[in-house]
Amino acid sequence: MSQRTIQAHLPLRAIAKLYIQSVEQQWHEDAQLPLKNYLGTLSGFDLAKVDSPEEWATTALDQHGFLIQQFTRMLALFNDTYGHVFARDAGDIDLKDVVHNDRILVVLIPALEISSSEAATLGRLYVSQLAMILSQDLGEKLEGKPDDILVIRKYKDRFPFLWICDEVGAYYTEKLG
């Protein structure tokens, strides 16, 4: 799934259409339930009227509008501003593969070319993804026998994982002072 696909499905009508499609085509519950939960808990939205957009309350449209504004800026940054850097219709870089298989990934954030808030957004996104992968490596199983889940899975290699963050001050200026 590309970032453009996500951006295309952000409007409420598109999410409702996707939910209707999931019901009609009997998608797996893991795919259908998040759509149902979102629409069911959206303030002012009546799930019984999902196939009648003209009957939707303006409150639901307003609430959804407030929510998607949080994603619009980030997706516009990736698709429009940096569309030449981030693959438009391809999958993302697999950071887990980079970490676990000693691959080299160079992430350059043009801190002098963009605003400080954009640099912070790009940098924090990258750092957060990497931190999530490393924290999962410390133990991510929640179910099973105590002998299995209490053993921490460590990736051992000849070299430790090297993580160099250039221009880290551009995305953590307030916090590193």
Domain residue extents for the chain: 1-75, 93-177
Measured at the CA of 75, the angle between CA 134 and CA 67, to 5 degrees, comes to 95
For residues 171 and 124, the answer to whether their CB atoms sit within 8 Å is yes
For residues 2 and 91, the answer to whether their CB atoms sit within 8 Å is yes
For residues 27 and 11, the answer to whether their CB atoms sit within 8 Å is no
pLDDT digits (tens, 9 = 90+) for 29-55: 888 999 999 999 999 999 999 999 999
The predicted structure's pLDDT at residue 103: 81
HSE-CB for 59 with a 13 A CA cutoff: 8
For residues 35 and 19, the answer to whether their CB atoms sit within 8 Å is yes
Would you tell me the crossing angle of helices 116-137 and 58-76 to the nearest 10 degrees?
Answer: 90
For residues 14 and 8, the answer to whether their CB atoms sit within 8 Å is yes
The predicted structure's pLDDT at residue 111: 74
**Gyration radius from the chain CA atoms:** 21
Residue ranges in the chain whose pLDDT is less than 70: 1-3, 82-92, 138-144, 147-160, 172-177
b/e 66-79 (16+ beta carbons within 10 angstroms → b) = eeeeeeeeeeebbb
For residues 59 and 46, the answer to whether their CB atoms sit within 8 Å is no
Instruction: Give residues with Cβ within 8 angstroms of 50, minimum separation 6.
Output: 16, 19, 20, 39
The predicted structure's pLDDT at residue 58: 92
The pTM (predicted TM-score) of the whole model is 0.55
